[in-house]
Amino acid sequence: MTQTVLLTLGRLPKALEIARALQRAGARVLIAEPFARHLSAVSRAVERSFVVTAPVVDRARYLAELRELVQREGVDLVVPVSEEILHVADLHGTLPASCRLYSMSAAAVRTVHHKGQFVEICRAAGIDAPETYAADDPAAAALAARSDYVIKPVAACSGRGVLFFDRGQPLPARGTAASTTGGLEQPAIVQQRVQGALVSSFSVARRGAVQSTVLYRGAVMQGTVAVCFERIEIPPAVEHWISRFVAHTDFDGFISFDLIIDAEGRAQGIECNPRATSGIHFVDPRYLASVLLAPEQTAVAALRPERLMQQFFPCLTETQKSMFTSRFAHNFRCLREAREVTWDARDPWPFIGMPYTAWNIIALAARQRMTFGEVAMLDFATVAAARSPDVQ
């Protein structure tokens, strides 16, 4: 029987990845989006896209509209795609018994996403994480005096509001860490800045066990967000770290981490994203569809053959910006060799139409003087920006 699946975001390439995988497995794919036009809306994989209220405008209305869509369209499965999971997880217990929500409970999602509580979980699970304190803890000032450090809002996403400091620099005034998200004060943590190789992971977990993991690193960066990424082999230390975290939290669903591998080969977790990240583009679409549509069946994990992926337009921008720097040759090689994540000859319009469908995000990034990645999810921010973005 055909399953109807509602994705709660359509603007990002990973939404398109999921939609195509589901549609080719025989599912009927719908999308709920605050943006009237977006990347996935023009895809042949999507039957229909519905405009919903942005959570920063009216969160209760947003959730009510999702529930109404589930009822009216006979939705069997709701799949959060990105940061909106911090809101969508609240649908647990409010959907028809026939509809599954591919998400942990709201409390579980927010706990692992919280930058401070994440470190506490790592300590309890017996895995490593950098020394971390609440920004108003006197120990934070002592850490800043003896070590390079990072300040992060506890609910930061996509690098928003993250600031880096050298050892001995005094802690900034309260609220500074949130300046790139609209100047609002937010609770923040102060974390030791660990030296080593930064890697990112994307895993599928089932009832506390890791079913599959992709490990990758940024090849071309736009701010703190990778726009070209390279799949790498998984060191045993990283595999062990992820397995311990997933088992300790009994996690079920998509879960992603940013980790530092230090000079001794030790893995340290710096944050958790309880959702899909760019690593999903390396996953074989048939395996991805089976994970979502038939979670009780044991599917053999499979990856695409490509090891280098890119989001072409932001990668092109970063390559052009680096033209007269030492990074140009590397960036140009990535631009030339990497597989574009949205291009598919059977479904060409998402890539061809991207300058039009992404124009609202591009314009907002220009107005706010922020990167595409920083503004792409402002209307789903858990702390509202001072001025809500134009979501239509």
In three state form, how does the secondary structure of 367-389 look?
HHCCCHHHHCCHHHCCCCCCCCC
Q: Are 66 and 84 in contact (CB under 8 A)?
A: no
Q: What is residue 173's predicted lDDT score, i.e. its pLDDT?
A: 73
Mind listing the pLDDT tens digit for each residue in 192-234?
Answer: 999 999 999 999 999 999 999 999 999 999 877 899 999 999 9
Residue 147 tokens, joined? 């070590």
174-189 residue pLDDT tens: 644 444 333 335 789 9
Alpha carbons 38 and 356: distance in angstroms, whole number:
8
Q: What structural domains and CATH numbers belong to the chain?
A: 131-192 (3.30.1490), 197-310 (3.30.470.20)
- pLDDT value of position 179: 41
> CB-based contacts of 286: which residues, under 8 Å, 6+ apart?
21, 24, 25, 302
Q: Please, which residues bridge with residue 132 across strands?
A: 191
The predicted structure's pLDDT at residue 389: 35
Q: Are strands 48-51 and 163-165 parallel, antiparallel or unpaired?
A: unpaired
Q: Within the chain, which residues score under 50 in pLDDT?
A: 175-184, 383-392
